[in-house]
Chains A and B, each alone.
Chain A
Amino acid sequence: QKEVEQNSGPLSVPEGAIASLNCTYSDRVSQSFFWYRQYSGKSPELIMSIYSNGDKEDGRFTAQLNKASQYVSLLIRDSQPSDSATYLCAVNRGFQKLVFGTGTRLLVSP
């Protein structure tokens, strides 16, 4: 079992819809969780971090964390074609380094 698992996609949604990206992790001691966006040929960009159970909203983005289920998700409301990218889930277990999932490719069609 991989430490951080994501569906590779692609996840296709029409413009204006809600995109829901999911991530599960295996290590229960994981403490902090991050979502990065990576456009093709570019480096990852941090879009959300979440540390406690529940929802965290930032603009069109909402991160959801459920530590009991070892599950973290990212919702993108009013999806735009410019949101088309690969979304990487990353988990920190209390040490310096992050463990990344392989990413979910999101396609938002006009």
Chain B
Amino acid sequence: GAVVSQHPSWVICKSGTSVKIECRSLDFQATTMFWYRQFPKQSLMLMATSNEGSKATYEQGVEKDKFLINHASLTLSTLTVTSAHPEDSSFYICSARDSSSSAYEQYFGPGTRLTVT
């Protein structure tokens, strides 16, 4: 149980274009999902908390107009990197929390490696 998928697993795009990443909870419902970014040899950095049916909460320093988050259902959240630039190249990972659980475990997706050329 507690499986989270991400799509695509990797993507290469040109500077100035937009990229959408999907995060799905496969066997549980997730009112709350989280988006992280990780640069090589660095720790996870939380970008935003995605709440089903409401606006995402962004961490300080994360541009909400650049990283658009939509949590349209209890099993799907999407992150769109708009007008991507080479410095946005990173490993983007989502996680989800089981809505039916009182615990705070987060289950991570396999990640999406974004390269902006």
Q: Which residues of A contact B (CB under 8 A)?
A: 31-32, 34, 36, 42-46, 49, 51, 88, 90, 92, 96-98, 100-103
Contacts and interface: CB of A to CB of B under 8 A. Distances in A.
22 contacts: A31-B104, A32-B103, A34-B104, A34-B106, A36-B108, A42-B111, A43-B93, A43-B110, A45-B108, A46-B105, A49-B103, A49-B105, A51-B103, A88-B43, A88-B44, A90-B106, A92-B104, A96-B104, A97-B46, A97-B49, A100-B43, A100-B44
Contacts of B34: 96-97
A92 B103 CA distance: 10
B97 interface: yes
A96 B43 contact: no
Contacts of B105: 34, 46, 49
